[in-house]
Amino acid sequence: MLKEKKDNEMIPTKTEMDVLQILWQHGPATVRFVHDKLNEQKEAVIYTSTLKLMQVMKEKGMLDRDETNMKHVYSAKLEEAKIKGSFLRRFVDKMYNGSPSSLMMALLGNGHTSSTELEKMKALLDKMDKKK
């Protein structure tokens, strides 16, 4: 079910996020396409469950549906950056007491950060410093 915060910000469930991720990555798609992608990611999902989920997401205002052709094509109505930003803010608030630097220290201290990723982070920090 779609959860809503008091400011009417939509918070998709895990399953809804799976559908949105596919549509954000691949663009508008049929239920069959989304269903096939979901089955690549996890254990077998029943087609009618995918269809119903996407119909419900349309009713909630999360998806648009183009009905001009025989096959209905769905597209994400929610902005990827906005939804991911909301999830990230909530994650940092809950897991790191609202401290982005604590999150960064945990990410950098885990031993999985490549030198390429570190260079990208340094460049981003330099860019942010120059804006100030």
- Structure-token pair, residue 64: 């648009």
User: What backbone phi and psi angles, to 5 degrees, belong to 42?
Assistant: -150, -175
Q: Is 2 helix (H, G, I), strand (E, B) or coil?
A: coil
pTM, rounded to two decimals: 0.75
CATH placement of domain 3-76: 1.10.10.10
The helix (H) or strand (E) run that includes residue 58 is helix 47-59
Q: Note down pLDDT in tens along the chain; length 132 residues.
A: 444 444 456 789 999 999 999 999 999 999 999 999 999 987 788 999 999 999 999 999 999 999 988 889 999 999 999 999 999 999 999 999 999 989 988 888 888 888 898 899 889 889 988 887
Give the Cβ contact number of residue 28 at 10 Å. Answer: 14
Tokens of 76: 């994400």
Q: Where are the domains of the chain?
A: 3-76, 80-131
- How many whole angstroms separate alpha carbon 128 and alpha carbon 132? 7
- Our measurement of the distance from residue 110's CA atom to the centroid of its chain's CA atoms, rounded to an integer in Å, reads 24
Find where tokens 């077998």 sit: 44
Query: Side chain identity at 118, as an amino acid letter?
Result: L
